[in-house]
Amino acid sequence: MKEYSDGANYLLRFDRGEEVITTLLRWARDRKPDGAFLTGLGAVENPHLGYFDAEKKGYIDKEFEGEFEIASLTGNLAWDDAGGGEDDVEPKDETEPQPIAHIHVTIAGPNFLAFGGHLYSAVVSGTVEIAVITFGSKLERKYKEELNLKLLD
């Protein structure tokens, strides 16, 4: 990944073969932004998406095989002071606050049909470019039992 910055905001360029969420969370642990809004585009392979079913209070997930354009990527970075960050496969210190990436994407394949949902994972097939617009105060997520979700608090 390559990083460009104006001192407050960032443009991250992900390289072929990198896993988007893992790489983004590693970057967030290193840079420690208080919180940020995300927007981006690119090309990925084998994306894993989720759809939140409010009645069931859980996600329905689907893995897509092949290469897809990211027609739209939007989301945010926040922190979980309980130490239980989402979408993270790397070992971490459970006593330290952990970043949470909440990202939604719209993907389109060679048939030009679009699919969308919560991005769990995807491997960069060409490049992915994400603008990280930092937020001036700390964004935190707290678990809300009635929804079975960690919401911005």
Nearest CA-CA partner of 147 in 58, 49, 60: 58
Distance between CA 27 and CA 148 in Å, rounded?
A: 27
pTM recorded for the entire structure:
0.89
Note the pLDDT of residue 153.
84
Q: What is the dihedral of CA 45, 48, 51, 52, to 10 degrees?
A: -140
Contacts of 65 (CB under 8 A, 6+ apart): 46
pLDDT in tens, 118-127: 999 999 999 9
CB 69 within 8 A of CB 78: no
Integer Rg of the chain from CA: 15
Give percent of the chain above pLDDT 70. 92
Question: Which sequence spans correspond to the domains of the chain?
Answer: 2-152
SS3 63: strand
CATH architecture of 2-152: 2-Layer Sandwich (3.30)
* CA–CA dist 58, 76 (Å, integer): 20
